[in-house]
């Protein structure tokens, strides 16, 4: 008897649990109203005015001060108006956006803002907003990763480095000393630490985008939630289902709203490349920005949906020069890498084999990369072996570390077999990202002989690339220091002549990868950006800084 | 009886504390900072600021005390990586999705697995038995990443026009079909084997043979006596199966792009988002502990012998 | 003539009874009786179970493949040669080649060594810890048992896969042994519980009470009486836990936490294959089939062993 009642009781409990789970989960699907496309409903995606894009990750933050990754930047740049936009390659000159004109006088920069830009809550965007936002990003309390972008402004680095404590007013004093002021609603005055010819281009970066003081003060950490967030760009954020999708709607109050052809943009978060490709093939998304399995690239390249864009970024291997001490061995290892094979057989997306650190798309590259022919696209084993034989006590056991994101393992395996031809015994160590960074330091862990790294430009000037390898720089994991190199960079920073700067960059590049250089790193290839777009989508371009301007995009019937 | 229940419930508190301590200890051991997310170095000053802001520079016992307080006041703190979200919000948004996925998968496993087990037991050691067990076991043996992949490729991709099933997502009921089946195949194996085993044992019992000899209709014998007694032990499956669901959901959610808690879990460990990892681990642990406790209590009610042996 | 299964049953039972009766007659007539022990009986019953037998054969075949092929296969498993890439299975390459032109037949065998090795090492570790914990807890009983079980309850709450991930993150590197440890850490709880249950129920048996009554020391009771009787259970458990460990390794590799290249396990081979399944499906199918083969055969062997060793299940 007891068993029977118990069985019934269990059955009831189980049934209740399932129903409860179902009710709890069912609430999610009632938000369907905002997802009018891409849910296995193929017709909705072809409505003109609506664009559905597969993006590869959940944006960690939509706060311009905290957006460090490309997905966050993608959204933030399109729901806000940046200070300036970048013109077309190869020059990538700054174009008016929020700032309609500017004056540059040595250390002083004055921005004249448009007067017709409004926040989505109706108020105007003013110069005070800009100054307030920048000071917020520089403030130590926010903990902005990109605060270093502002270090070119007088007093910014000191303010950022201040330790906030309740007792002293030291931080407030430092804040007042930062070289920023807004004499009136449309003028921003900036004092720099030195003349920085690239500063205007740097202002196109997402970290300089102003935020709405009202929203931030009212909602604190939660100010970016839909319903709270206040922005000033061509689109506004109307829904954000975490780890699922974001929806942007056209903002009619934008100053150029008449030119914006899209009404709705659905960003679907699909992290897995195979799934994203399937979704694109099934017609569930219009653009696949997530990516796809690399092995599909060769067949996808034949299709008209495939689009490829040059990028200002490099994939390279660095050496720990305290371990691989002999420059001849480093040169041999760099010469032994068969870049062309890697690009053609592994990455396959039209990447360019890199003979130098500075990418060819960089303004001034024709001067900077003159003489960068020591490293070839293919391997030069004869020359490599010659250098290897010059090495007095070669490091035979090489440990190569890389992070476990897709693609790195395959390249490491290929290079491992290439270095084996030099008689080296290469051990591969795959790590997850935070641990990988921990091992890199700087300074790198003594078990690290070589490592994989990449760099994408923050702004289109070579100083941004070359300063990665400055002595003691936070991004220099090689333990390498060269006085002449640092000297060249310092001179270039102080110079106001473009041609002189390019000359200095060329000298610096030679110290890196030239015949008589130090070879602290071995460049492998320069990035490209690629995506899949339906033929109905027009104007969807990725610029060399990995930026996409949705206000230029349209979808035809 | 009541004393037994109360004692079991009270015991969960020190257990939960122990779990928090273990998770906390382990997380402290992992190297890596949650604040370096890209290749770009974060200036040392900024790092110091961030560590201070989130209390990561306090001694370990202070941090531990804070976590314990967080758990018991049900405020799990802000996420270290997703800077505009807090752990409570993440859990509220994503946990129901995973719970639904898990619940439906269990339902599927029971609905298909139990009959398979019954058929196997009734036709023990014959072809039907082997065939049914093969079908049931395949679900567990073929790794989930392959079954999910095949499902998407065939049912949503190639034959998508015919079936109308989407390739990913969780918003419509049709999107739920494939992931639920993919996740449910493992527990299905478990149920089928369990029911088969129990039924075989019960079928040997004298009272069953007596009933058969008495001439009672076989179907009634099986349905009324054998089945009921075989199904009750399936309750013990709750513990390990909950674990399996949690494990399997990581992969399924990843491949099917389902916004559940499993995906968040893996990315949080990889991103060193300590507060989120702590919060979700503790939540999962509490769930499993509570589930086990319920099972134990039910067993105590059911079988007085176990009650005595345990306490 | 097709007979209905119930008639068959009756007839089989009759034959068994007859042969048993014949045996008894011979015994009573003083003939030499073939002694049979639990083990021999189990072996006989196991062999009669066709599915279990076939599974055992399959299991052994797989193990032989992994052991022997790397010695006889002509191809170097690590040679990178892009001109040989993506060859579909053929006479030259039974399993085809991968993206780097490496022969998959030998790589799958090597992967099997690692996966099965991890499986057995992990299972052995799980058994060791589980038996130690369970038998101490069950045998000693009282407050120690209570405390240990409460601790176990706490440990049960640790979700297995996240803990494996965290453990691997703590070690910092993924090799054979760290993988074994990571997979073992949160998997031995059920074994401990079951062994403890078995020990407790065996403890109440008359022969144990008798041994105690005549003054046998605890280690004699434990090692001579209790543990051997759990052996059957343990063997079954080994074949039940092995699939879980192998699958766990496959999952972790799939999430990117696999063994360092160029070494491979079935899980890391599957992960390689996953990124290429749309155009080259065989690369993911092969290791997955190997995993499924291992798990299926292990399960059927476990079932057969359990049926064979459990005196309660009589032949129907």
| DSSP reduced 3-state for A465 | helix
- Of C256, C261, C279, Cβ closest to residue A412: C261
Mean pLDDT of C169-192: 86
Chain A residue numbers with beta carbons less than 8 Å from the beta carbon of C100 are 410, 413-414
Q: Check whether the bond before A323 is cis (ω within 30° of 0).
A: no
Strands A50-55 and A287-288: parallel
State the Cα angle at C234 between C230 and C237, rounded to 5°. Answer: 140
The set of residues, in sequence order, having a beta carbon less than 8 Å from that of C206 and lying 6+ positions away, is none
Structure tokens at B125: 């050691």
- Of B137, B146, B204, Cβ closest to residue C312: B204
Structure tokens at A39: 């849910």
**A1-15, A325-339, A462-476, C254-268: least confident range:** A1-15
Is the per-residue pLDDT at A18 higher than 70?
no
pLDDT in tens, B95-118: 888 888 888 888 898 888 888 888
Per-residue confidence band for B280, with pLDDT thresholds at 50, 70 and 90 = confident
Measure the CA–CA gap between A278 and A271, rounded to whole angstroms.
12
The rounded radius of gyration (Å) of the Cα atoms in chain A is 26
Structure tokens at A224: 């970016």
**Contact call for C169 and A430, based on CB within 8 A:** no
Strands (E), A132-214: 180-184, 187-191
Question: From B150, which residue of chain C is nearest by alpha-carbon distance?
Answer: C277
* Cross-strand pairs, A250: A235
B-interface mutation test, from C153, C255, C300, most B Cβ less than 10 A away: C153
Give Cα separations from B13 to A435, B16, B96 (angstroms): 34, 5, 24
Chain C residue numbers with beta carbons less than 8 Å from the beta carbon of B133 are 51, 300, 303
The set of residues, in sequence order, having a beta carbon less than 8 Å from that of B9 and lying 6+ positions away, is B293
Q: Is C280 on the interface with A (CB under 8 A)?
A: yes
Contact by Cβ (8 Å): B203, C9: no
Per-residue confidence band for A41, with pLDDT thresholds at 50, 70 and 90 = very low
Q: Is A270 on the interface with B (CB under 8 A)?
A: yes
Interface of A with C in 428-487 (CB under 8 A): 428-432, 435
CA A281 to chain B, closest CA, distance in angstroms equals 8
Strands A450-456 and A245-250: unpaired
Chain C residue numbers with beta carbons less than 8 Å from the beta carbon of B16 are 154, 157
Distance of alpha carbon A327 from its chain centroid, rounded? 32
Structure tokens at A387: 């250098």
Is the per-residue pLDDT at C315 higher than 60?
no
The set of residues, in sequence order, having a beta carbon less than 8 Å from that of C85 and lying 6+ positions away, is A345, C97, C98, C99, C100, C101
Indicate the length of chain C as a whole number. 316
Is the per-residue pLDDT at B141 higher than 80?
yes
Per-residue confidence band for A258, with pLDDT thresholds at 50, 70 and 90 = very high
Question: From C255, which residue of chain A is nearest by alpha-carbon distance?
Answer: A404
For residue A125, the model assigns a pLDDT of 94
Is the per-residue pLDDT at C77 higher than 60?
yes
CA A48 to chain B, closest CA, distance in angstroms equals 22
Contact by Cβ (8 Å): A262, A537: no
Measure the CA–CA gap between B192 and B113, rounded to whole angstroms.
5
Contact by Cβ (8 Å): A112, A101: yes
Chain A residue numbers with beta carbons less than 8 Å from the beta carbon of C280 are 295
Question: From C166, which residue of chain A is nearest by alpha-carbon distance?
Answer: A432
> pLDDT higher for B54 or A40?
B54
**Contact call for A428 and C257, based on CB within 8 A:** no
> Which of B57, C225, C113, B31 has its CA nearest to residue A436?
B31
For residue C203, the model assigns a pLDDT of 75
Phi and psi angles of residue B292, each rounded to the nearest 5 degrees, phi first: -65, -40
Measure the CA–CA gap between A475 and A488, rounded to whole angstroms.
18
Measure the CA–CA gap between A426 and B61, rounded to whole angstroms.
43
Per-residue confidence band for A9, with pLDDT thresholds at 50, 70 and 90 = very low
For residue A118, the model assigns a pLDDT of 94
Whether the CA torsion A95, A100, A105, A110 is positive or negative: it is negative
Give Cα separations from C129 to C141, C158, C189, C235 (angstroms): 18, 17, 9, 15
**Mean pLDDT for chain B?**
79
For residue A513, the model assigns a pLDDT of 92
Whether the CA torsion A90, A93, A94, A95 is positive or negative: it is negative
A/C interface, count of CB pairs below 8 Å: 65
Q: What is the dihedral of CA C239, C240, C243, C244, to 10 degrees?
A: -140
Count of CB atoms within 10 A of residue A197's CB?
16
- Alpha carbons within 13 angstroms on the beta-carbon side of residue A265 total 30
**Contact call for A68 and B100, based on CB within 8 A:** no
For residue A486, the model assigns a pLDDT of 94
| DSSP reduced 3-state for C3 | coil
Measure the CA–CA gap between C217 and C221, rounded to whole angstroms.
6
Mean pLDDT of C150-168: 78
Contact by Cβ (8 Å): A234, A263: no
Burial (Cβ within 10 Å: 0-12, 13-18, ≥19) of residue B192: buried
CA B126 to chain A, closest CA, distance in angstroms equals 30
Q: Is C262 on the interface with A (CB under 8 A)?
A: yes
Helix H or strand E segment including B40: none
Contact by Cβ (8 Å): C201, B290: no
Structure tokens at B253: 């959610």
Measure the CA–CA gap between C19 and C34, rounded to whole angstroms.
14
Contact by Cβ (8 Å): A115, A186: yes
**Contact call for B146 and C161, based on CB within 8 A:** no
Strands (E), A304-440: 306-319, 352-353, 397-403, 425-431
**Contact call for C288 and B146, based on CB within 8 A:** yes
**Contact call for C169 and A341, based on CB within 8 A:** no
Structure tokens at C261: 């290249």
Is the per-residue pLDDT at C10 higher than 70?
no
Contact by Cβ (8 Å): A144, A67: no
Chain B residue numbers with beta carbons less than 8 Å from the beta carbon of A161 are 43, 45
> Which of B39, B48, B33, B32 has its CA nearest to residue A143?
B48
Structure tokens at B126: 């014959």
pLDDT in tens, A456-514: 998 999 999 999 999 988 899 999 999 999 999 999 988 888 899 999 999 999 999 99
* Cross-strand pairs, A181: A189
Phi and psi angles of residue A177, each rounded to the nearest 5 degrees, phi first: -90, -5
Q: What does DSSP assign to residue A548?
A: B
Is the per-residue pLDDT at C1 higher than 80?
no
Q: What is the DSSP string of chain C?
A: ----HHHHHHHHHHHHHHHHHHHHHHHHTTPPP----HHHHHHHHHHH-HHHHHHHHHHHHHHHHHHHHHHH--S-TT---GGGTTPPS-SSSTT-B-TT--BHHHHHHHHHHHHHHHHHHHHHHHHHHHHHHHHHHHHH-HHHHHHHHHHHHHHHTS-HHHHHHHHHHHH-S--HHHHHHHHHHTT-HHHHHHHHHHHHHHHTSHHHHHHHHTT--HHHIIIIIIHHHHHHHHHHHHHHHHHHHHHHHHHHIIIII-PPTTS--HHHHHHHHHTTTTT-THHHHHHHHHHHHHHHHHHHHHHHHHHHH-TTS---
| DSSP reduced 3-state for A112 | strand
Question: From A415, which residue of chain C is nearest by alpha-carbon distance?
Answer: C80
**Contact call for C270 and B146, based on CB within 8 A:** yes
State the Cα angle at A495 between A494 and A496, rounded to 5°. Answer: 125
Burial C18-34 (b: 16+ CB within 10 A, else e): eeeeeeeeeeeeeeeee
Structure tokens at B227: 């089945």
Chain B residue numbers with beta carbons less than 8 Å from the beta carbon of A447 are none
Q: Is C88 on the interface with A (CB under 8 A)?
A: no
pLDDT in tens, C30-68: 545 555 666 777 777 777 777 788 889 999 999 999 999
% of chain A exceeding 90 in pLDDT: 64
Count of CB atoms within 10 A of residue B139's CB?
23
**Contact call for B45 and A433, based on CB within 8 A:** no
- Of A6, A39, A221, Cβ closest to residue B78: A221
Measure the CA–CA gap between A96 and A204, rounded to whole angstroms.
10
Contact by Cβ (8 Å): B101, B179: yes
Structure tokens at A409: 């393992």
For residue C14, the model assigns a pLDDT of 57
Measure the CA–CA gap between A413 and A407, rounded to whole angstroms.
10
For residue B231, the model assigns a pLDDT of 63
Per-residue confidence band for C122, with pLDDT thresholds at 50, 70 and 90 = very high
Measure the CA–CA gap between A266 and A108, rounded to whole angstroms.
41
Structure tokens at B153: 């490729």
**A113-122, A451-460, C251-260: least confident range:** C251-260
Q: What is the DSSP string of B246-310?
A: HHHHHHHHHHHT---HHHHHHHHHHHT-HHHHHHHHHHHHHHHHHHHHHHHHHHHHH-HHHHHHH
Phi and psi angles of residue A245, each rounded to the nearest 5 degrees, phi first: -165, 160
* Cross-strand pairs, A314: A455, A526
């Amino acid at each position: 008897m007891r068993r029977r009642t118990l069985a019934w009781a269990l059955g009831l409990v189980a049934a209740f649990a399932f129903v409860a789970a179902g009710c709890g989960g069912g609430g999610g699907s009632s938000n369907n109203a905002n997802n009018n496309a891409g849910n296995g409903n193929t017709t909705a995606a072809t409505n003109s005015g609506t664009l559905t894009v597969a993006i590869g990750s959940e944006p960690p933050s939509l706060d311009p001060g905290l957006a460090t990754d490309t997905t966050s930047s993608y959204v933030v740049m399109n729901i806000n108006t940046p200070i300036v936009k970048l013109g077309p390659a190869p020059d990538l000159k700054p174009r008016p956006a929020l700032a309609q004109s500017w004056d540059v006088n040595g250390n002083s920069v004055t921005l004249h803002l448009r007067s017709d830009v409004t926040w989505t809550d109706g108020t105007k965007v003013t110069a005070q907003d800009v100054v307030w936002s920048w000071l917020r990003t520089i403030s130590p309390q926010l903990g902005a990763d990109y605060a270093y972008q502002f270090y070119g402004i007088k007093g910014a680095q000191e303010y950022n480095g201040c330790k906030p404590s309740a007792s002293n007013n030291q931080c407030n004093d430092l804040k007042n000393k930062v070289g920023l002021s807004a004499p009136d609603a449309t003028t921003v005055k900036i004092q720099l630490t030195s003349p920085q010819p690239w500063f205007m281009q740097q202002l196109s970066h997402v970290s300089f985008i102003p935020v709405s003081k009202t929203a931030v003060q009212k909602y604190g950490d939660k100010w970016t939630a839909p319903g709270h967030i206040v922005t000033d760009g061509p689109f506004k954020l109307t829904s954000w289902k975490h780890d699922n999708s974001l929806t942007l709607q056209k903002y009619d109050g934008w100053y150029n709203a008449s030119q914006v052809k899209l009404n709705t943009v659905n960003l679907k978060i699909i992290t897995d490349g195979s799934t994203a490709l399937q979704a694109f093939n099934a017609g569930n998304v219009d653009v696949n920005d997530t990516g796809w399995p690399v092995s599909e690239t060769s067949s996808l390249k034949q299709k008209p949906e495939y689009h490829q864009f040059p990028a200002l970024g490099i994939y390279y291997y660095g050496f720990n020069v305290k371990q691989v001490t002999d420059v001849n061995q480093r040169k041999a290892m760099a010469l032994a890498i068969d870049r062309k094979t890697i690009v053609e057989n592994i990455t396959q997306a039209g990447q360019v084999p890199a003979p130098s650190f500075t990418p060819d798309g960089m303004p001034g590259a024709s001067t900077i990369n003159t003489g960068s022919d020591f490293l070839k696209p293919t391997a030069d084993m004869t020359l490599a072996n010659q250098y290897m034989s010059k090495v007095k006590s070669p490091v035979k056991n090489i440990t190569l570390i890389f992070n476990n994101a897709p693609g790195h393992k395959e390249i490491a395996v290929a290079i491992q077999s290439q270095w084996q031809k030099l008689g080296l015994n290469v051990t591969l160590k795959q790590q997850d990202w935070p641990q990988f960074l921990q091992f890199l330091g700087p300074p790198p862990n003594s078990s690290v002989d070589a490592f994989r790294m990449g760099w994408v430009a923050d702004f289109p000037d070579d100083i941004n690339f070359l300063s990665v390898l400055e002595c003691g720089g936070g991004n220099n994991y090689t333990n390498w220091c060269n006085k002449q190199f640092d000297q060249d960079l310092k001179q270039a920073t102080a110079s106001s002549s473009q041609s002189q700067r390019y000359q200095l960059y060329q000298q610096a590049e030679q110290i890196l990868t030239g015949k008589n250089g130090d070879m602290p790193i071995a460049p492998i290839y320069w990035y490209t950006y690629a995506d899949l777009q339906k033929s109905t989508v027009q104007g969807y371009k990725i610029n060399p800084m990995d930026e996409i301007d949705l206000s230029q995009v349209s979808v035809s019937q | 009886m009541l004393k037994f229940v109360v004692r079991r419930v009270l015991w969960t508190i020190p257990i939960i504390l122990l779990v928090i301590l273990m998770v906390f200890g382990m997380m402290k051991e992992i190297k890596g900072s949650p604040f370096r997310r890209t290749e770009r170095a974060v200036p040392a000053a900024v790092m110091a600021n961030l560590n201070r802001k989130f209390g990561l520079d306090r001694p370990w016992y202070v941090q531990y005390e804070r976590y314990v307080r967080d758990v018991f006041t049900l405020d799990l703190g802000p996420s270290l990586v997703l800077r505009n979200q807090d752990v409570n919000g993440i859990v509220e948004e994503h946990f129901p999705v995973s719970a639904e996925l898990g619940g439906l998968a269990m339902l599927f496993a029971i609905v298909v697995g139990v009959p398979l087990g019954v058929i196997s037991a009734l036709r023990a050691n014959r072809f039907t038995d082997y065939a049914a067990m093969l079908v049931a076991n395949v679900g567990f043996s073929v790794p989930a990443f392959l079954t999910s992949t095949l499902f998407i490729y065939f049912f949503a991709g190639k034959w998508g026009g015919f079936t109308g099933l989407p390739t990913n997502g969780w918003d419509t009921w049709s999107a739920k079909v494939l992931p639920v089946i993919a996740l449910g195949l493992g527990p299905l194996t478990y149920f089928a084997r369990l029911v088969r085993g129990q039924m075989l044992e019960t079928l040997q019992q004298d009272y069953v043979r007596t009933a058969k000899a008495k001439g009672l209709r076989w179907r009634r014998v099986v349905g009324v006596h054998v089945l009921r007694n075989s199904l009750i032990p399936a309750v013990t499956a709750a513990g390990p199966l909950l674990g399996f669901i949690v494990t399997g959901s990581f992969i399924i959610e990843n491949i099917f792009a389902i916004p559940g808690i499993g995906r968040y879990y893996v990315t949080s460990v990889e991103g060193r988002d300590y507060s989120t990892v702590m919060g979700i681990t503790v939540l999962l642990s509490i769930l499993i502990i509570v589930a086990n406790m319920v099972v134990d209590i039910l067993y105590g009610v059911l079988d007085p012998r176990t009650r005595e042996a345990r306490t | 003539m097709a007979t209905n299964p119930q008639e068959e049953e009756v007839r089989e039972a009759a034959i068994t009874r007859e042969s048993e009766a014949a045996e008894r007659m011979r015994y009573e007539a003083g003939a030499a009786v073939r002694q049979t022990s639990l083990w021999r009986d189990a072996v006989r019953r196991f062999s009669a179970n066709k599915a279990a037998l076939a599974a055992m054969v399959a299991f052994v075949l797989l193990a032989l493949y992994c052991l022997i092929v790397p010695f006889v296969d002509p191809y170097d498993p690590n040679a990178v040669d892009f001109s040989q890439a993506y060859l579909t299975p053929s006479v030259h390459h039974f399993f085809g080649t991968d993206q780097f032109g490496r022969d998959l037949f030998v790589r799958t065998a090597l992967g099997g060594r690692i996966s099965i090795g991890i499986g057995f090492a992990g299972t052995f570790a799980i058994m060791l810890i589980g038996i130690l914990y369970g038998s101490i807890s069950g045998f000693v009983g009282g407050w120690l048992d209570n405390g240990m079980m409460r601790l176990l309850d706490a440990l049960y709450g640790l979700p297995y896969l996240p803990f494996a991930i965290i453990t691997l993150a703590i070690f910092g590197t993924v090799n054979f042994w760290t993988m074994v440890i990571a997979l073992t850490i949160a998997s031995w709880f059920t074994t401990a519980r079951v062994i403890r249950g078995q020990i407790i129920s065996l403890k109440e048996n008359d022969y144990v009470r008798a041994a105690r009554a005549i003054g046998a020391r605890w280690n004699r009771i434990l090692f001579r009486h209790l543990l051997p009787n759990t052996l059957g259970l343990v063997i079954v458990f080994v074949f039940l836990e092995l699939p879980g460990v192998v699958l766990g390794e496959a999952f972790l590799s799939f999430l990117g936490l696999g063994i360092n290249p160029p070494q491979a396990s079935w899980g890391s081979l599957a992960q390689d294959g996953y990124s290429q399944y749309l155009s080259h499906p065989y690369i993911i199918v092969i290791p997955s089939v190997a995993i499924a083969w291992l798990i299926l055969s292990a399960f059927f062997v476990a079932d057969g062993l359990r049926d064979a060793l459990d005196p309660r299940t009589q032949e129907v």
